[in-house]
Structure 1
Amino acid sequence: MAQKIAVIAANGREGRLIVEEAVNRGLDVTAIVRGENKTVAPHAIIKDAFDLTKDDPKGFDVVVNAFGTWTPETFDELPREVAHVADLLAGTDTRFIVVGGAGSLLVESDGKKIALEDTPDFPDAFKGVSAAHGKALADLRTRDDVEWTYVSPAANFVADGPRTGEYQLAGDDLTLNSNGESEISYADYAIGIVDEIVTDHPHIRERISLVSK
């Protein structure tokens, strides 16, 4: 029987690609969206993420959270939304896979490891959203009642990049590809998310990261 998965914020650019990848691999996919379902998912729950109740995720094997915020006025919504969904899944066997950020990945600096977002060259324009993602991860790491996996993209997350079908799986450290770059396309990241859904060895209560080869 195909795994049943739900994708929150499925109408977003990454959400749609995750839905498409999952459907193409034969998973039973439900899009959770605020308005019209614009994905290829055959089922939809039309609801704001903050209005979801404990009944909504019942019956799903995996809930993927592709929720994002991009303005200073809404940055705080991201960790609150992740915490809200985690509360709904607490004490269940439903896995919670979170589309995360790269700013909290670790890099070497003066002989110690610091977050990428704390390095001098980290762009000011991304500090707010990076901090929001970092808070969401920090909150998840306090929880042992949720089967969560936090998935960071590479530092350069390329919306229109090609689907190569290949990527590297890494952990908390910023990892570089064969060109010495930290980069991955949205399409290859979606492959990594669905690989994590279907793997026999899931990364429960871990942060993983994905980078191109």
Structure 2
Amino acid sequence: MANVLLIGATGFVGSAVLNELVSRGHKVTAVARNIEKVAKSELLDVVKEDVANVDAIAKLAEGKDAIISAYNPGWTNPDIATLISENYPKILSAAKKSGVKRLLIVGGAGTLFCAPGLRVVDSGAIPEEIMGGVRPLGDFYLNILMNENDIDWVFFSPAGVFDQQGKKTGNYRLGKDDLIVDAEGNSHISVQDYADAMVNELEKPAHHKERFTIGY
């Protein structure tokens, strides 16, 4: 059993990761804005805290085996670009300050390559209305995380699309920097399978100071 700090536990991805963690018997301290949304469990402590508070997040993380961050200020939040740009470096700082050895981040697909030398974020495939969330997270990965050597981090990029009516199959492929597509050329994954792979990485670390990705 691992003892994990999960940031963003009530979001679309965070809630799936939380369910997977608890179902496997891991102890979780869940950080969320809306703590009333989190179902009670004897394996679960729920804390309302601001991710921008480096000292508070570091204190919550002390003694934990890992931090998983599914932080997202909300796709409809008009300040999403600023909040991601400001808060992800703070999450990284809190993780390093806490002494936790492992940081697993729910990444984005934007920095994956969809053709030689062409990242998804520059391909024109991403709707402009969500670019405010996509590009800053990609910049954090490319400009900050890739230069980070003081903590064992992972940036786990999903496929291009999350299946809205998906389920856990356990039948998926993992890759590194290239967008994974199926036989029809579609890049997709269920949030349940994404969570399954994230918790697999927690339990049996296979990636260190690098990005990896998933798809069918």
Same fold (TM over 0.5): yes
Change (3 A) 1:5 1:178: farther
- 3-state SS in 1 of match to 2:59: coil
Alpha-carbon contact 1:15-1:66 (below 8 Å) kept: yes
Match of residue 211, structure 2, among 195, 207, 212: 207
In the aligned structure 2, how far is the partner of 1:152 from the partner of 1:52?
24
Judge which range, 121-130 or 184-193, deviates more. Answer: 121-130
The equivalences for 1:108-119 within 5 A come to 108=115, 112-119=116-123
The offset of 1:133, in angstroms, is 1.4
Q: CA deviation at 1:38?
A: 2.6
Q: Matches of 2:157 and 2:34 in 1, distance apart?
A: 27
2:13 is matched with 14
Task: Summarize the Cα distance change of 1:168–1:67 in structure 2 as closer, same or farther, 3 Å threshold.
Answer: same
Offset at residue 37 of structure 1 (A): 4.5
Shift of residue 52, structure 1, vs aligned partner? 4.2
AA at the equivalent of 1:143? E
Q: Distance in 2 between matches of 1:209 and 1:33?
A: 25
Once residues 12 and 4 of structure 1 are traced to their aligned partners in structure 2, the CA distance between those partners, rounded to angstroms, is 20
The corresponding residue for 1:46 is 48
Amino acid in the other structure paired with 2:33: R
Offset of residue 39 of structure 1 = 2.6
Query: How far is 1:93 from its partner?
Result: 4.2
CA-CA distance at 1:149 after TM superposition: 0.3
AA at the equivalent of 1:130: V
Question: Runs of 5+ in structure 2 lacking a partner?
Answer: none
For the 8 Å contact 2:63–2:100, the answer to whether it is kept is no
TM-score under structure 1 length normalisation: 0.89
- Whether 1:163 and 2:168 are equivalent positions in the alignment is yes
Post-superposition Cα deviations, 1:140-184, rounded to whole Å, max 9, x if no partner, equal 111111211001000012243222222211111111124432100
Matched-pair contact (CA < 8 Å) for 2:35–2:47:
no
The size of the alignment, in residue pairs, is 207
**Greater Cα offset, 48-57 or 6-15:** 48-57
Go from structure 1 to structure 2 and tell me whether the alpha carbon gap of 1:128 and 1:44 turns closer, same or farther (over 3 Å shift).
same
Give the number of the structure whose residues are more often helix, by fraction.
2
Answer whether contact 1:93 1:147 (CA < 8 A) is retained: no
Preserved CA contact (<8 Å) 2:54 2:93: no
Q: TM-score, normalised by structure 2?
A: 0.88
| Amino-acid identity (%) | 28
Counterpart of 1:49 in structure 2: which amino acid? V
Farther-moved stretch of structure 1 (61-70 vs 40-49) = 40-49
- Equivalent residue in structure 2 for 1:90, among 83, 86, 96: 96
Structural mapping, 1:54-133, within 5 Å: 54-69=58-73, 70=75, 71-90=77-96, 92-108=99-115, 112-133=116-137
Give SS of 2:81's match. coil
Gap runs ≥5 in structure 1: none
Q: What is the root-mean-square deviation in Å for CA atoms of aligned residues?
A: 1.8
| 2:106 partner letter | V
